[in-house]
Amino acid sequence: MSVASTQQAVVAAEPTRESLDVLDQLMKPEVQESLTVLVENLPKLAEMVTILTKTYDLVQNVATDQVFIDDIKGGVEEFVKPIQDKAKGLASAAIEANDRAQDESTTIGLFGLLKMLKDPQVQKMFRFSQAFLEVLAERQKQRQ
């Protein structure tokens, strides 16, 4: 036999071995049981694949639709912008107040505190603090 015919015989024998391996696998009872379950559930699997395909198509269309992406981006920006502006304003006020407090070295006495109590912002802060503490107390009572 020539080398070429020997190689052809080996190549022809390999698919036979693979076929035998597949047949050996199919002869196993657990594989046959699994195949039976798959065949019984083919209608459900087909329905699931259809739904997944439709979902994939929808997501693909939405993900590539630049108009939709721009609309979502604009909506999020409209929602976040006021919150961002308010946070920046509060941070700016806190930084400015800290700078003023660092520059100020005077002592606030009893009469200074009494004068501060008349300030509308101090009153607002005290009302908020009182309401906040009341809410915390109510929630603590509910947990017990």
The pLDDT value given to residue 105: 84
More confident residue, 42 or 18: 42
The pLDDT value given to residue 10: 46
At 22-41, the pLDDT tens digits run 888 888 889 889 989 999 99
The predicted model gives 116-132 an average pLDDT of: 94
The pLDDT value given to residue 136: 95
Q: Is the pLDDT of residue 106 over 90?
A: no
At 81-105, the pLDDT tens digits run 999 999 999 999 999 999 998 888 8
HEC string of 36-63?
A: HHHHHCHHHHHHHHHHHHHHHHHHHHHH
Report the run of H or E that residue 81 belongs to, with start and end. helix 66-103
**Full-model pTM:** 0.42
Question: Where do the domains of the chain lie?
Answer: 22-64, 66-105
Name the 3-class secondary structure at 12: helix
The pLDDT value given to residue 58: 93
The token pair at 111 is: 């009469």
At 6-24, the pLDDT tens digits run 455 444 545 566 666 888 8
Q: Is the pLDDT of residue 1 over 60?
A: no
